Amino acid sequence: MLTVAGLNFRVKGGKPIKFMKLLIVTQKVDVNDDILGFFHGWVEEFSKHCEKLTVICLEQGKLSLPPNVEILSLGKEAGKSRLKYLWRFYKYILQKRNDYDKVFVHMNAEYAILGGIFWRLSGKSVSLWYLHKAVNFKLWLAEKFVNHIFTASKESFRMKSQKIKIVGHGIDIKKFRPRPEANKQNKIIYVGRISRIKNQELLIRAVNLLVNQNNLASIKIDLIGGAITAKDEKYLNGLKLLVREFNLDDYISFIGSVANQEIVDYYNQAGLSVNLCPTGGVDKAVLESMACAVPTIAFNKAFTDIFGEYNGLLILKQADENELAEKIFRVMMLSDADRKNLGEALRKIIVNRFSLENLVDNIIKNINYVTH
């Protein structure tokens, strides 16, 4: 690897290979965002391989990016105007057409549709990153315009297409790492927005069993995440009522939204992470907790292949509070040495299979990013 003026170039035959210029289209770039803050790290990683990286985003927040990255916001942070968003989108892709050779659309399939004809006529290949089990007409149409569709697992993308490339997730293992000085408490955390599909109620019911029947009075639970929709707010209010009904106010805390760059501190204070999303895409919160060497219980069967020999201990077979309580109890009762060994084994899985560096390298390789 050769570094020139802060930019990285691969070296072949003693000569640097110039990297292509890339356009990324995404929803938000903001290092402080609690849900999408991780993508700031993606932009940084992609920038290491780019001569020029242009990013069009719907909304822009706090940034800390290299000089070869240009951020162009459609302006949501200044107020909503769909017509203005659309006008700016076409203005940017036309105005900057000589600044990029390939396009990488993150999650929002509509951008692949909106820019598809122009990009095809311009000879620019387009790749889509998409994780969602729902298949709709918008996704079906976007598939016609793109050259590649990248997804994390077979459960993350349910539409059949020859363009699909399963590349796993990308976790920043330098950021999400265990800290030896952290105070590991008998604390359980659940990281995820407050929503019925996230199933936080099941955890509350399991904690009720542990505290009021098993006398496990030393545990503390942090529910980390905010309610986004009115339906989510209603669900949150119901959770708080349930906590009061079970007399668990001293055990369960509703933390609210936490910036992605700060969530690592919560992982490092926890002895156990729980994620109760149903089977679907591989949930990034589980991978982040694993990267921090935190034992993690998951309901999503997509983790069966990932957990491997630890399935019996960490995979919840059904949405049952008795089974969940039993698994929590088993993990919390492990000796410090056994829990540390388990955490280190889980982190090793992330380092070997799900690092951000490996993910970006894999994506670049698939889209023939380097000009030979």
Question: Where are the chain's structural domains?
Answer: 2-170+355-366, 187-353
Query: pLDDT, tens digit, for every residue of 314-337?
Result: 999 999 999 999 999 999 999 989
**pTM score, two decimals?**
0.86
Q: Mean pLDDT of all residues in the chain? A: 90
Residue 7 tokens read as 């930019």
Reading the block at residue 210, the tokens are 């542990």
User: 187-353, what's its fold?
Assistant: Rossmann fold (3.40.50)
Non-local CB neighbours of 125 within 8 Å, separated by 6+ positions:
102, 103, 119, 147, 148, 367
pLDDT tens, per residue, the chain with 372 residues: 444 444 444 544 444 444 679 999 999 999 999 889 999 999 999 999 999 999 999 999 999 999 999 999 999 998 888 999 999 999 999 999 999 999 999 999 999 999 999 999 999 999 999 987 778 899 999 999 999 999 988 878 889 999 999 998 999 999 999 987 666 678 999 999 999 999 999 999 999 999 988 777 789 999 999 999 999 999 999 999 999 999 999 999 999 999 988 999 999 999 999 999 987 778 899 999 999 999 999 999 889 999 999 999 999 999 999 999 999 999 999 998 999 999 999 999 999 999 999 999 999 988 864 343
Whether 268 and 325 have beta carbons less than 8 Å apart is answered as no
188 membership: H or E segment, kind and range: strand 187-191
CA–CA separation, 346 and 364 (whole Å): 27
Cα distance between residue 113 and residue 269, in whole Å = 44
- Assess contact for 92 and 103: CB atoms under 8 A: no
Task: State the Cα–Cα distance between residues 167 and 26, nearest whole angstrom.
Answer: 19
* Cβ within 8 Å of residue 94, ≥6 positions away: 118
Does residue 293 come out as left (phi exceeding 0), alpha (psi in the -120 to 50 range) or beta?
left
Helices (H), the chain: 38-47, 82-95, 109-114, 116-121, 137-145, 200-212, 230-245, 263-267, 284-291, 304-307, 311-314, 321-332, 336-353, 356-366
Report the CATH fold assignment for 2-170+355-366: Rossmann fold (3.40.50)
With beta carbons less than 8 A apart as the criterion, state whether 288 and 258 touch: no
Same fold, 2-170+355-366 and 187-353: yes
